[in-house]
């Protein structure tokens, strides 16, 4: 007889035998079915479905029956096929399977765990297991079994962990349910006690990877010793795949600042530096992948204030030294990570001052020089970010200017990449803050001013647009130079500063008004037609009559009126400015009310 006929025969017998509950004949039918499933699972499963065998199985899942493990095994095998999972749920198999989780028999538990795990691979199965309360029972088993390191027990734990993983995979609410049951501390303990059991360790890692995506898991992870366990496990691994699995858990966990510090204290950084050393010259894809993952993770650890400061060790830290040595590397990924690491170390004045003294600026400039032609945009962006941060403390500005930072940065003016444009602008703005000579030199650079004016119109890139406006204003405010004002007027920059005065950010409004005041004070004759063309008087009128305008904006607007009153006389009168200004004499802010009186006198004297 052919295999298929045997199977049909057995399934017919099974239907009859299960009705009489004749155990012996049921057993032999089940054996025949398991054999067929082992031979060709999909075909045999289809046959089971066609002949309506699934609805017979709940009665065969009696806790006392000797054939129960076989029936559960059959369900587990059948449910490996996607098309069989819904029918298993519809046949009512979930409640009796969940009841079997209360059994004391190891084999019953093992096969039941497999069956539920496979059915749970789909949503329908999950909600049925959820309703029957299956996850709670399994979580309880894992907790009580976790202390026992007997090999058979390891197998059962692996199956149970796999079941919970399938149950909650990519399902936020079920993951949250497991977290609330306290699964995380149990799994972390499991990892520590069973680190020699490869299959179980992998299950734990995949489960961690799933759960770590949820924000709410991070607090629970932080209260366990997950950092030590993962670092210990990482040190033991030789294979690329195993390391990658651990990396996939480390990355989401390291987004949490408490865990960042725990990972640093557990010695993860040394492991990462080792990976870098071993893979930097590797040609294989896996070397390239590991180098990227390890260096990215290193940068992520430096995003936490405490972990970063611990690794900086007042600039004497070996980690700090190693990461610096990445900048001149021949490897783009390491150059990138090195520059990003410097940008992260440069998050407070003390660190910035120390780094500039230790000669980092030169390394960054050399790196940028290597990336001017056909450069790597991410490296350009990272190196400029680092320079921008280093330029924040006042004592660093002059040093960095004399090291030639602005000349190198200007080489990137032709860049068409908004992220690079944005950082370039930010770096120049930080450098010239309070530095009159540098502002004068850059502000009379017609090429730069022309590019700024162009970027002031970059409607698609609000960041670049905002930064260009701010740099244009800063060049005037810090140089207070007539030549700079002339360059900006000739480059058609005035209208952008007038528009900037209407920004929703108060700091930008203020910077614009101060710059416009300097233009009016230094070269009113040249600027007049631009002021009229850009509707300056109307903008000032609106700022003064709007209740929501901040006091310092009102004050600076009136100063500007006084500076401009003569040439813009007609417009000022036409808009009945005196009424708006005289209302401000009773403003609660003394500086504003005082300036309102002065402005009113000025306007009255001229009318």
Q: What is the DSSP string of 101-140?
A: TT---HHHHHHHHHHHHHHTTSHHHHHHHHHHTHHHHHHH
Amino acid 5: pLDDT: 64
Amino acid 1: pLDDT: 42
pLDDT tens digits, one per residue of 459-482: 889 999 999 999 999 999 999 999
Question: pTM of the prediction?
Answer: 0.81
Instruction: Report residue 565's pLDDT band, with 50, 70 and 90 as the boundaries.
Output: low
Q: CA–CA separation, 16 vs 21, rounded Å? A: 9
Amino acid 102: pLDDT: 92
Mean pLDDT of 89-96: 91
A 10 A CB-CB count for 336 gives 25
Instruction: Report residue 367's pLDDT band, with 50, 70 and 90 as the boundaries.
Output: very high
What percent of the chain lies above the pLDDT cut of 70? Answer: 95
- The whole-chain average pLDDT of the chain stands at 89
Joined tokens for residue 453: 């004016």
Amino acid 30: pLDDT: 82
Q: Environment class of residue 545 by beta-carbon count within 10 Å: exposed (0-12), middle (13-18) or buried (19+)?
A: middle
Instruction: Report residue 340's pLDDT band, with 50, 70 and 90 as the boundaries.
Output: very high
pLDDT tens digits, one per residue of 133-158: 999 999 999 998 887 777 778 889 99
**Which range, of 324-333, 419-428, 471-480, averages the lowest pLDDT?**
324-333
pLDDT tens digits, one per residue of 484-494: 999 999 999 99
pLDDT tens digits, one per residue of 14-57: 666 665 555 667 777 888 778 888 888 888 888 878 888 888 88
pLDDT tens digits, one per residue of 374-390: 789 999 999 999 999 99
Q: Environment class of residue 405 by beta-carbon count within 10 Å: exposed (0-12), middle (13-18) or buried (19+)?
A: buried
Q: Where are the domains of the chain?
A: 535-606
Mean pLDDT of 244-262: 93
Q: CA–CA separation, 292 vs 340, rounded Å? A: 13
């Amino acid at each position: 007889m052919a295999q298929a006929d045997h199977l049909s025969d057995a399934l017919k017998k099974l239907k009859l035998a299960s009705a009489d509950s004749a155990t012996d004949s049921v057993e032999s039918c089940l054996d025949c079915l398991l054999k067929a499933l082992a031979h060709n699972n999909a075909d045999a499963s289809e046959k089971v479905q066609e002949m309506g065998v699934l609805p017979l199985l709940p009665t065969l899942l009696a806790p006392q029956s000797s054939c129960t493990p076989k029936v559960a095994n059959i369900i587990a095998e059948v449910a490996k096929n996607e098309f069989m999972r819904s029918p298993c749920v519809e046949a009512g198999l979930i409640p009796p399977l969940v009841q079997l989780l209360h059994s004391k028999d190891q084999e019953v538990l093992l096969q039941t765990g497999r069956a539920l795990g496979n059915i749970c691979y789909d949503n329908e199965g999950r909600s049925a297991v959820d309703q029957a309360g299956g996850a709670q029972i399994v979580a309880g088993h894992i907790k009580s079994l976790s202390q026992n390191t007997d090999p058979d027990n390891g197998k059962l734990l692996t199956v149970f962990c796999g079941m919970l993983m399938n149950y909650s995979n990519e399902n936020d609410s079920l993951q949250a349910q497991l977290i609330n049951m306290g699964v995380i501390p149990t799994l972390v303990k499991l990892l520590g006690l069973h680190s020699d059991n490869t299959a179980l360790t992998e299950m734990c890692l995949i489960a961690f990877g799933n759960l770590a995506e949820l924000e709410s898991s991070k607090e629970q992870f932080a209260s366990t010793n997950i950092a030590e366990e993962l670092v210990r496990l990482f040190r033991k691994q030789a294979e690329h795949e195993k390391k990658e699995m651990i990396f996939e858990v480390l990355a989401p966990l390291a987004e949490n600042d408490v865990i960042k510090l725990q990972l640093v204290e557990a010695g993860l950084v040394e492991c990462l530096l080792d990976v870098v050393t071993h893979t930097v010259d590797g040609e294989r894809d896996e070397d390239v992948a590991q180098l990227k993952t390890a260096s990215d993770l290193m940068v992520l650890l430096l995003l936490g204030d405490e972990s970063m400061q611990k690794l900086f060790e007042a600039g004497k830290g070996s980690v700090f030294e190693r990461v610096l040595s990445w900048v001149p590397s021949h490897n783009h990924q390491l150059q990138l990570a090195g520059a990003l690491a410097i940008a992260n170390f440069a998050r407070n004045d003390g660190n910035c001052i120390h780094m500039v003294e230790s000669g980092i600026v030169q390394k960054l400039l050399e790196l940028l020089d290597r990336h001017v032609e056909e450069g790597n945009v991410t490296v350009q962006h990272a190196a400029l970010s680092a320079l921008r941060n280093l330029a924040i403390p006042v004592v660093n500005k002059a040093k960095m200017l004399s090291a030639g930072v602005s000349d190198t940065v200007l080489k990137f003016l032709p860049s068409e990449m908004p992220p690079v444009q944005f950082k370039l602008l930010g770096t120049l703005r930080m450098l010239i803050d309070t530095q009159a000579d540098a502002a004068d030199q850059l502000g009379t650079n017609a090429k730069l001013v022309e590019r700024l004016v162009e970027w002031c119109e970059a409607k698609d890139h609000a960041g670049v647009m905002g930064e260009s406006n701010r740099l244009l204003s800063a060049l005037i405010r810090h140089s207070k130079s007539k030549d700079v004002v002339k360059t900006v007027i000739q480059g058609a920059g005035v209208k952008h500063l007038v528009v900037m005065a209407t920004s929703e950010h108060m700091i930008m409004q203020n910077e614009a008004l101060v710059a416009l005041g300097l233009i009016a004070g230094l070269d009113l004759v040249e600027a007049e037609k631009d002021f009229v063309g850009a509707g300056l008087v109307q903008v000032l009128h609106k700022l003064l009559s709007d209740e929501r305008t901040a006091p310092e904006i009102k004050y600076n607007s009136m100063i500007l009126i006084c500076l401009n009153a003569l040439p813009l006389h007609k417009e000022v009168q036409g808009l009945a400015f005196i009424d708006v200004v005289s209302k401000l004499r009773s403003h609660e802010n003394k500086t504003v009310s005082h300036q309102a009186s002065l402005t009113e006198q000025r306007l009255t004297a001229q009318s």
